[in-house]
Chain A
């Protein structure tokens, strides 16, 4: 069946089957492989994408559920001219990734956090990000990256 939605700021029209997940449509049909798949049971957060600004597990969300909605994947975060989003830059500056597999999902979850709460405390960060697992970094550098990005972000009004 037809599926129309906004993807990384642009309207997109594609076909999908009823049982296809958003992760499958993004990776296999639309060739956006930045969204990674790990646990497939909504536990690890690796496949996190933003739908209407909120983090979802793309591996368990049916693709059909995003019809007419706004989807943001890791590929849509940097500006069209290539300038990195402050969170992406902060992750690089704080060495907040090693193997990088959890990173796209981690960055998008962090974006959702900072959009909702531009100046989070460490406890806020830990609480919000608890749905994303990282096996490499021991989490400390990720917290530092989010704090660093928060310092740079001007106070935004709530969406």
Chain B
């Protein structure tokens, strides 16, 4: 309810006593050495408390990064992308800070810049990072970190099984091509913002962050402080979508607070947010082969991803993109090589879909291209090749825990698959399966109060995915208490137990399981208490909804606790630890599975594509809250449509030219398909509570390919680069028309 009344607090709504405001001066050069910074005039400007540069960090360890410690909290000696923070001013008002920025004089020596992976890998290319890196401790993937080896390669990943060369040699039909997924901006509508306070107690930061515990870890390293002295508090978050995963501006704001000796707030504008994090793009060359019976037998791919100036989470994205080239098909021979390359552009990091979106543009396009070459229906071709339930289609990983046949059938039905379409219309059906990035490390505490109400202490952040709804639903179910009696305290690292992250669609499955187990552990404790109170053996106690029973005697949880303590007061704390063991021993924790389909209309005069029908199917095991699960699917599919039709960060040389909301087009009401149908498939085949799996990303992944495939269906024209803007489409249609004309 707080969200509809304006009472929900986001980081930007918080005011601390004595709080000052910071503004950032950013690099105008893509690659340059900093020769000098003169801050003397700025420091004297009325209202200014402090000015921070890379020369003022003695006492701090300024480089952070959970995968690769390559990211300075403010530029040190060098700038590596246009927009990189060079100086921060702390003042009594935003206005005073902003004015003082004008008084700062920075001298640069420009260096040659590399702007694409291709340039970054050329012989003699200037190196962004000359030093050898410490791998971050918490990278969350098994492979080796490969940055800092004297090239601009940030991370490499390689996947092989079978023998692709032999398979291609005997293949019946082969398609190959190059596909492009653009750099996109997640556009969480709340831009990055953080408030920091540094004093003798340690460091406290309020931030719009998805992973407070990961940020806390980076701050312990920056400030040389123990975990117990760093506190991250995350109120409501105005959108994340992966773009707020891991550390962003928190070390910079904390360093400002440290220098200024007072609380400091840094609020980025949307333009600045676009210069802070973007998605990796991917240039994928892929070749897929089919045998005489129409079975896919081999896939070969080489992928180049542009990770920007700093690694951030791109090493994990690189690994995941590699894995996700395979699904959701059973392919006996596979060779995938992925290279994530540093360039002098905005740093790339997690984005919804996490590598899967990038490579599914190629994968799902190729499936349709193969089907076309074979003269087969793309839907039936998929049915014949998708991984089957419980099939170990990815060697050594958890067998597939979804049902793609069921998912695809529903989409086909919604679209009216076999029905003839009028001219200018096309349709497509796609699917994706991701080895969920969730690393199983989570804990939680459930407090059962003496009046029978319950508080869940959870480290998960509420981004809008509904953790504040789903987790209480689980606790209410387990304890047999009304949903209204369960509250949530979340995302304060000083209060809520450790949760590695909120993202990768993990909250329902992992934190949900933790809540379930903690509830049961609380019940066990209360059974022991009841036995003592009733003076019987534990074995004679029966658990019922909302309490216990022993013969004629019945106690509610409230009565149990009150009688145990002798007063209507006190509480019981149930706890759970989740780690990579038991049900969660095998990764991925679950396969995030979805199928989406579209029907489009294309205007030949303008190249404009409009969505006429959209179908989404989330294969989620069990939707604890179906409306929330469906909401995630339509949100993800809409974001995917955005990439498929218009979203792209455009660089002209080193300069980002569409770095404002005026020029970066996101989906609006008027882009909505006229007919939208959302479905959930719930076979309770996951390891989450009651068979749940995760959702929230998968419906994005196949959308760009769906649009490209539907365009091909409508017009016979194949575009392999997203977004399929009217300009691209019109040119492609013209070209096809000219070719046709010239043959006459």
Contacts and interface: CB of A to CB of B under 8 A. Distances in A.
A135 B1 contact: no
Is chain B's interface secondary structure helix, strand, loop, or mixed overall?
loop
A84 to B, nearest CB: 7
A117 interface: no
B238 interface: yes
B111 interface: no
A127 interface: yes
Nearest to B631: A95
Given A100-B238, A136-B464, A95 B627 contact: yes
A77 B241 CA distance: 30
B588 to A, nearest CB: 24
A53 interface: no
A39 B238 CA distance: 13
B548 interface: no
Contacts of B670: 126-127, 130
Contacts of B9: 33
A77 B5 CA distance: 8
A91 interface: yes
A36 B666 contact: no
Nearest to A20: B95
Contact of A99 (B13, B15, B236): B236
Nearest to A85: B4
Interface in B579-638: 627-628, 631-632, 634-638
B239 A135 contact: yes
B496 interface: no
Interface in B1-53: 1-10, 12-13, 15
Nearest to A101: B238
B87 interface: no
B535 interface: no
A33 to B, nearest CB: 4
Nearest to A99: B464
Contacts of B396: none
Contacts of B4: 74, 84, 88, 91-92, 97, 100, 103-104, 107
A98 B465 contact: yes
Given A36-B10, A98-B464, A99-B463, A135 B187 contact: yes
Contact of B3 (A35, A78, A103): A103
Nearest to A27: B13
Given A36-B10, A39-B270, A135 B241 contact: yes
Contact of A137 (B6, B237, B634): B634
Interface size class of B (residues with CB under 8 A): 35 or more
Most chain A C-beta atoms within 10 Å of own C-beta, residue among B240, B639, B672: B672
Chain A at the B interface: SS class: loop
A84 B1 contact: yes
A140 to B, nearest CB: 5
A27 B240 CA distance: 23
Nearest to B237: A99
A100 B3 contact: yes
Interface string A119-152: 0000001110110111111111111000000000
A43 B662 contact: yes
A38 B6 contact: no
A47 to B, nearest CB: 11
Interface stretch (B116-124, B188-196, B342-350): B188-196
A126 B627 contact: no
A13 interface: no
B239 A36 contact: no
A32 B6 contact: yes
Contacts of A36: 10, 12, 189-190, 238
Contacts of B13: 27, 33
Contacts of B669: 125-126, 129-130, 132, 139, 142-143
A133 B661 CA distance: 11
Nearest to B627: A95
Contacts of A141: 627, 631, 634
A37 interface: yes
A99 B631 contact: no
Contacts of B628: 95, 98
Contacts of A125: 669
B189 A101 contact: yes
Given A36-B238, A129-B669, A138 B638 contact: yes
Contacts of B190: 36, 38, 99, 101
A62 interface: no
Contacts of B466: 98
Interface string A64-80: 00000000011101100
Nearest to B634: A138
Contacts of B465: 98
Contact of A40 (B237, B269, B632): B269
Contacts of B661: 38-39, 41, 43-44
A78 B7 CA distance: 12
A145 B5 CA distance: 15
B241 to A, nearest CB: 7
Contacts of A107: 4
Contacts of B678: 140
A143 B637 CA distance: 17
A101 B10 contact: yes
Given A77-B5, A84-B4, A98-B466, A133 B634 contact: no
Contacts of B668: 130, 133, 139
B470 to A, nearest CB: 12
Nearest to B9: A33
Interface string A7-51: 000000000000000000001000111111111110110100000
Interface in A109-125: 125
Contacts of A92: 1, 4
A102 interface: yes
A140 B2 CA distance: 21
A138 B270 contact: no
A136 B627 contact: no
A63 B269 CA distance: 20
A91 to B, nearest CB: 5
B541 interface: no
A49 to B, nearest CB: 11
Given A100-B464, A139-B672, A35 B6 contact: yes
B684 interface: no
B637 A138 contact: yes
A128 to B, nearest CB: 9
B676 interface: yes
A156 B191 CA distance: 39
Contacts of B238: 36, 38, 99-101
B635 A137 contact: yes
Contacts of A100: 2-4, 8, 236, 238, 464
A137 B240 CA distance: 13
A37 B639 CA distance: 21
Contacts of A133: 189, 666, 668
Nearest to B191: A38
B188 A135 contact: yes
Interface string B638-678: 11000000000000000000001110001111101000101
Contacts of A39: 270, 660-661
A140 B239 contact: no
Contacts of B631: 95, 98, 136-138, 141
Contacts of A38: 189-191, 238, 270, 661
7 contacts: A33-B13, A43-B662, A95-B628, A98-B464, A100-B464, A133-B666, A138-B676
Nearest 4 A-B pairs (CB), nearest first? A34-B6, A98-B464, A101-B238, A99-B464
Interface of A: 27, 31-41, 43-44, 46, 73-75, 77-78, 84, 88, 91-92, 95, 97-104, 107, 125-127, 129-130, 132-143
Given A38-B190, A139-B672, 13 more contacts: A27-B13, A37-B12, A38-B191, A43-B661, A78-B5, A84-B1, A98-B628, A99-B189, A100-B464, A101-B238, A102-B189, A136-B239, A138-B634
